[in-house]
Structure 1
């Protein structure tokens, strides 16, 4: 493991139009690098690159923060050399980092590569890292979960939630959640969701575990027979034990975001409910998770929040960040609202949002780029009134340069998602940042995981 004490980066405030006169619920304290690719271009990967991070807080101890991310990105065939993790025991001030053991060949495992890391923490402090391991020399693809029993300092060997070797099946875009609500009839249940690309479609699929990820239920088809398939499913656990999945259906006439809710612990699901149409796009030359939603549930109020990049409120072909809210457990969704404020004569393309909420405070973090240039910044807005109004858009950390970013199919790639998590007193975000590599660096690229701490 590697101990990283990050160097704080000054947080610059962007002067702009106030979007509702509210007291900012979350305010960024500092941003710092929490990890770096340790593999130095092993096996032909893009050296010195990290991508696609997620983050989680311990529900009983917000000083415990765990992030996961790809390390050593591969361009054309996707995935990474091995996923990494970064764990803080002091609220994000210092971090201990490492690579997930026993998964890929680079970490004494059997798979060629892995992708799409996500992380969740249970009420008992168990940390669950989930990812998609796969081979490039054959057709094997899987969904794997690795549990940590020491609050994210070390991880156990992977347990395969799903393991396929057929060339007609590929498992994609997994996510994980744990029921942490004491009054829930499914308290402690771990949910794994993903989409399975197969000849008949791309169904959203689910398995659950009641023994801390050791064994898993039978495969449950969620989106069938309503859609040919879906992608980007985010599981949201509600205080009463209901489970809502938010995702983007595929194979439909209109691009949209939808929600499906289970009232029996993920065994069966009600028909999908349309949240709203999707009217966004990937910024030119980038892959940013075009159409994938980000979602969060406020564990105090029970409100569900969904955000995505969207161009419906503008005519210049660029994206804003928009949001829809449900106050009834995911059955009815409110009208789409604009989260960010545009500063006149400063056109920015916004992308890849993340969202978290706690006790009526809502935090939305996202990337932004001026026109089609290589310079990118992270931005955030915060609300103190359940997302009804937001404070002004603020800049987070220093400016990045896509010239040195990782790639996916030739497109600049920071990730299809970022991670944001909140507690009663703090919030944390994790994203990937690219800049000119230092002298003597192992390659022409440089992309690392950064994290910021927010206080209320």
Structure 2
């Protein structure tokens, strides 16, 4: 393990030294809908021993927009059995994209990791791009890494270690959420989960901080200890305008052979040194599994543990925080929809959940299942929520699946109220067949047909840019993007 530690720390330079990506940038143009992913950039890299448990193609593309210039947007995703991370960058709100490999995270991209997961992309206030990924080593070691670009992805710094576990006997680490300070370009925060090696019935949550724009990271501090027979999952970290940190997550309490879920929030007003007791957002009444309506096969059921947050920063007083998650309370537990709540006091108290998705209630209940939820707010206060469902499914061979965007225009009161007015627009040009998605086994859960646990959604100054993954050819996924107003 000493050699692995040496390899990882050797990647952290005293000064950030730009390195070329080793892959030519490629313009990607399609009318209306843009295909972001392309041919495999890792075709000449030897397969790894764990490839069979990873999805082929491009999965879970996520987004970030430059807060100083929302025309500048970046999308990042793991590709080709997660052998490396790929990024696409636009300077014109998605009119054109340039694609390249994020270097240094895996052996297929010039690093030492075997696989990369939970990739994120963040713009700092000065316009720099920071990409993070949870990296798994061939020997079972794990780490959270970050790389930084100051020229829109043309060149990158060498990878920097956020947190690492070099001894697999101690368990593993998984960096999942990153947030930039809205007023200080130097400050970034990253949330990491630490799991025991054996049965995952508890975990710790760590917070790392960078005070130099992601060039280096301070040693992690304990954010939360889930406790015995409890799991804290699906973390979404936000930084409010006054610097308060707000971390939203799902607490899974394993008791009496069942799972009791609550959406909770914790706050820190001192940069993560101390945290408030948990504030309950709501009980989460997810059905847990998303299933093929005809066969019962699982469809990315891990999305049931993922919430998302967005902040209305229009400066009319304290920031309004919106939270969304999967919840079956609107169908008496029969099918997950999208629940939304809001907080006007920095996450201390929350409104009662309301249904956001416009999935028709008149179709068969199994086709009402809604999953992979994202939320964002525009500069004018418009709230956007993206989700997938099976509303166009029939009993034929394909499992017809679509991606949707619901929009709530600005109004005096919160969009998280029963009287809020929503309009819905379709994102996918045509329904895709979920049964053609990559199907991957997992030692701890039957993940079934899998396109990713999260999809991207950002405000672009004139509306919203969204990303999602769909089957490309049977068993392989591709990443797409589009704009909506």
Q: TM-score range by the shorter chain?
A: 0.7 to 0.9
Q: What's 1:224 paired with? A: 225
Select the residue among 299, 306, 315 that pairs with 1:286. 299
Q: What's 2:314 paired with? A: 300
Return 5+ residue gaps in structure 2 as ranges.
1-23, 292-297, 442-446
Q: Distance in 2 between matches of 1:319 and 1:401?
A: 20
Contact 2:114–2:135 under 8 Å retained in 1 = yes
- Aligned residue pairs, count: 416
Q: Distance in 1 between matches of 2:359 and 2:214?
A: 45
- Could you give the per-residue CA deviations for residues 46-79 of structure 1, whole angstroms, max 9, x where no partner exists? 7851111210000111111001111012xxxxxx
Q: Cα distance, 1:317 vs. partner?
A: 2.3
Q: What's 2:13 paired with? A: none
Q: Distance in 1 between matches of 2:253 and 2:337?
A: 25
Which structure: greater helix fraction? Answer: 2
Q: What's 1:100 paired with? A: 102
Q: What's 1:64 paired with? A: 72
Select the residue among 360, 367, 371 that pairs with 1:343. 360
Q: Distance in 2 between matches of 1:206 and 1:159?
A: 16
Q: Distance in 2 between matches of 1:424 and 1:7?
A: 21
1:56-455 map, 5 Å: 56-73=64-81, 80-135=82-137, 137-167=138-168, 168-181=170-183, 188-198=186-196, 201-224=202-225, 228-251=230-253, 253=255, 254-280=260-286, 281-284=288-291, 285-288=298-301, 289-301=303-315, 302-315=319-332, 317-346=334-363, 347-358=367-378, 359-370=380-391, 374-384=399-409, 385=411, 386-387=414-415, 388=417, 389-397=420-428, 398-409=430-441, 411-435=448-472, 437=473, 444-455=474-485
Contact 2:309–2:375 under 8 Å retained in 1 = yes
Structure of greater relative contact order (alpha carbons < 8 Å, 6+ residues apart): 1
Seen in structure 2, the aligned counterparts of structure 1 residues 169 and 108 have a Cα distance that, compared at 3 Å, is same
Seen in structure 2, the aligned counterparts of structure 1 residues 37 and 220 have a Cα distance that, compared at 3 Å, is farther
Seen in structure 2, the aligned counterparts of structure 1 residues 37 and 331 have a Cα distance that, compared at 3 Å, is farther
Moved more, 205-214 or 421-430: 421-430
Contact 1:261–1:269 under 8 Å retained in 2 = yes
Contact 2:55–2:439 under 8 Å retained in 1 = no
- Could you give the per-residue CA deviations for residues 326-350 of structure 1, whole angstroms, max 9, x where no partner exists? 1111000110000023424324211
Secondary structure, counterpart of 1:143 in structure 2: strand
Select the residue among 6, 9, 29 that pairs with 1:6. 29
Q: TM-score normalised to the size of structure 1? A: 0.86
Q: Distance in 1 between matches of 2:113 and 2:265?
A: 33
Moved more, 217-226 or 413-422: 217-226
Q: Cα distance, 1:173 vs. partner?
A: 4.8
Q: TM-score normalised to the size of structure 2? A: 0.81
Q: Distance in 2 between matches of 1:37 and 1:241?
A: 42
Q: Distance in 2 between matches of 1:390 and 1:408?
A: 39
Seen in structure 2, the aligned counterparts of structure 1 residues 108 and 331 have a Cα distance that, compared at 3 Å, is same
Contact 1:195–1:229 under 8 Å retained in 2 = no
Return 5+ residue gaps in structure 1 as ranges.
9-29, 74-79, 438-443
Q: Distance in 2 between matches of 1:93 and 1:214?
A: 30
Moved more, 33-42 or 326-335: 33-42
